[in-house]
Amino acid sequence: MIWQEAAGWEAHRVALDALALRVASLSHSASLVRLAFEATKGVGKGDGAPLWHPDPDGRMSLRVPYAGRLRDLADWFARDERPRSGVFLSYRAPSAIPKPEAARSVFGGAGDWIVFEDSGDRGARPDLLAFAHVAKRVRASLMQHGPQPSPGVISGHAPNGKATAEPHLAILPLANVGNPYATGDLLGFAIVLPRPLDAGDRHAVLEAIAGFAHLDRGEDACALLHLSDELTWRIERAAAPSRSSLKAERWCGVAERWASATPVLLDRFPDHGSPVEEGRLIAAACRNTGLPEPVEIEIHKHSALSGAPSAYPARGSQSRPDWSFPRGVKFADRPRRHVMLRFAEPIEGPVILGAGRFHGFGLCRPLPSEQSA
């Protein structure tokens, strides 16, 4: 970390050195560090040193100070309270030669994913088919723990109660799908922030997440998600997930081909059941999230990803469970389709499409370029 205008800091050298000796980790207890303060002239001024620069579209989010942070810290210290999360700012990686950026949607990349995983304790874990209920409960809890009244970036609603036209956070299932040993089990979920997102809205979301995850009780505190009177899911914040399906990078790659892990919910029923009209609706769903239209669209009942549930149960099978929706949600009766998409150029994930995109539906994974239909 470089402060190019840190004038007069030498007067506090003893205190800073003492502080550096007490820092064992950054961001997470697994990120061990040794810290030292050093005076170096000319760093970052044409000396070739790689520097990360603030950029609203950057893929790395870093916690930064904000106006009034010192006052807040003093207030929390006086009340013997744990300091709360600060403001995050997006940074772009150093690059000697600017590369053309891949198209991407209104949903944030890996730096804007907050992942929660099953704690592994004995107890109830919901089925992927019931994820709409999980998403509803998570959003309700975030609204409860965040600023009041709940801002649109969390609630998805404008002050007048109608659905907001602005991008807002999505809650996505992270399941064991798309590998030779896929079981389809729900391993956790991600809260994905939209982009661009101003500092005020970002702070509101992080405040809500901190309350939801009980981060004020300790870094490793677990949260309890009450899904019903009988079902409670114990989860924990996963800063460094161990399983591939829980890693944001698995879903935020750059690729031409994408396949749905959860069905895309069409915005309406196609005229006369026309597959051509279905393709137009899916192309429109891509445009609605800021992506270009695909050059190829395949529509299926079953997912191309192993372990992913089908859009509908097998015909004539009364014992196979179907997707479940909370009572009263508007997208419950929308047509469900699995898709495979190919774009003219590689696009950057995440790719989340359709009417249920804020509740975990239409989540796609990138496919290797050599993988065929």
Match 């990078």 to its residue by tokens.
Answer: 249
* Residue 176 resides in a domain: yes
Last residue of some domain: 60, 92, 124? 92
DSSP per-residue codes, 282-335: HHHHHHHTTPPPPSEEEEESS-SSTTPPPSSPPTT-SSS------TT-TTTTS-
The DSSP element (H or E) to which 144 belongs, if any, is helix 131-145
Q: Are residues 39 and 145 in the same domain?
A: no
Task: Tell me what pLDDT residue 346 has.
Answer: 93
362 phi/psi in degrees, rounded to 5: 75, 20
- Residue 253 corresponds to which amino acid? G
Strands (E), 193-288: 222-226, 232-237, 254-260, 264-265
Put simply, whether the predicted model's pTM sits higher than 0.75 gets the answer no
Q: How confident is the model at residue 123 (pLDDT cuts 50, 70, 90)?
A: low
Q: Are 234 and 123 in contact (CB under 8 A)?
A: yes
Of 156-160, 278-282, 321-325, minimum mean pLDDT range: 156-160
Residue 199 falls inside a structural domain: yes
Q: What is the side-by-side order of every strand in the sheet holding 222-226?
A: 170-175, 186-192, 113-118, 232-237, 222-226
- Identify the domain containing residue 273 by its residue range: 252-367
Same domain, 288 and 347: yes
In the DSSP assignment, the letter for residue 13 is H
- The predicted pLDDT at position 242 comes to 78
Report how many domains make up the chain.
Answer: 3
CA dihedral angle for residue 168, residue 333, residue 258, residue 193, rounded to 10 degrees: 10
Same domain, yes or no, for 239 and 265? Answer: no
Q: Which of 27-41, 121-135, 229-243, 268-282 has the lowest mean pLDDT?
A: 27-41
Only one residue has tokens 């992927």, namely: 128
373 located within any domain: no
Q: What is the pLDDT of residue 85?
A: 72
pLDDT of residue 372: 40
Max distance between CA atoms of the chain, in angstroms, equals 79
Q: Which of 12-16, 146-150, 176-180, 358-362 has the highest mean pLDDT?
A: 358-362
Check whether residue 313 and residue 193 sit in a common domain: no
262 and 213: one domain? no
**Phi-psi region at 91: left, alpha or beta (left = phi > 0; alpha = psi -120 to 50):** beta
**Residue 18 domain-assigned (yes or no):** yes
